[in-house]
Amino acid sequence: TPSAVQKIKQLLRDKPEHVGVKVGVRTRGCNGLSYTLEYTKSKGDSDEEVVQDGVRVFIEKKAQLTLLGTEMDYVEDKLSSEFVFNNPNIKGTCGCGESFNI
């Protein structure tokens, strides 16, 4: 989303050695999977690259099918600010919202 693009641009301004962010999934939480998001200095051999308004997002190979069709957003309210993944593939989430299953 435009909000996520602007936030990533803002975060990367302070990290000129990084070319973008990498999104992945890890086995974690009470429901199986959780998202990972980290700065990256280069595109991995198996990473899928998505460029949106000049922002480069790399998707780890093992996460590509899990994240197919997913929208990444950045939301802020009075108590928190976070990246949110709107994933149409999710079959269920845990009560705390930290993990999901497909």
User: pLDDT by residue (tens digit) across 23-68?
Assistant: 998 887 565 778 889 999 999 999 999 999 999 999 999 889 888 8
Cα-only R_g, the chain: 14
99 confidence band (pLDDT: 50, 70, 90): low
Break the chain into its structural domains and give their ranges. 2-90
- Whole-prediction pTM value? 0.83
User: pLDDT by residue (tens digit) across 68-96?
Assistant: 899 999 999 898 898 988 888 766 665 55
Residue 89: predicted pLDDT = 74
Distances (CA, A) of 32 to 14, 21, 64, 92, 98: 33, 23, 16, 10, 10
Residue 33: predicted pLDDT = 77
Report the topology of domain 2-90.
Hypothetical Protein Aq_1857; Chain: A; (2.60.300)
